[in-house]
Amino acid sequence: MLLAGDDADAKALLAGVMMAAVLRAVDAGGLKRARELEALGFLQLTLAAGEKTSWAGAFTLAQ
């Protein structure tokens, strides 16, 4: 899961919650990155609504 924010303590707390849910937390940077993350969310919703992908689908980061 991608997360963004300007509060390091809040990001660390959220990353801990993500890891407890067996998700990998990836710090996308400061709060200014939220715009790009919201665009990814909108793309995912648009694809699911158009039946191009499942509502349970997700994007994957590849290394």
- What is the per-residue pLDDT across 29-41, written as a single tens digit (0 to 9) for each? 999 999 999 999 9
In a domain, 63, yes or no: no
pLDDT at residue number 58: 84
Please give the model's pTM, rounded to 2 decimal places.
0.69
Angle at 37 between CA 34 and CA 41, to 5 degrees: 135
In a domain, 8, yes or no: yes
Domain total for the chain? 1
* Mean predicted lDDT score pLDDT of the chain: 92
In a domain, 31, yes or no: yes
Name the residue range of residue 31's domain. 2-49
> By three-state DSSP, how is residue 55 classified?
coil
C-alpha to C-alpha distance for 8 and 12, rounded to whole angstroms: 6
On the question of pLDDT at 63 being above 80, the answer is no
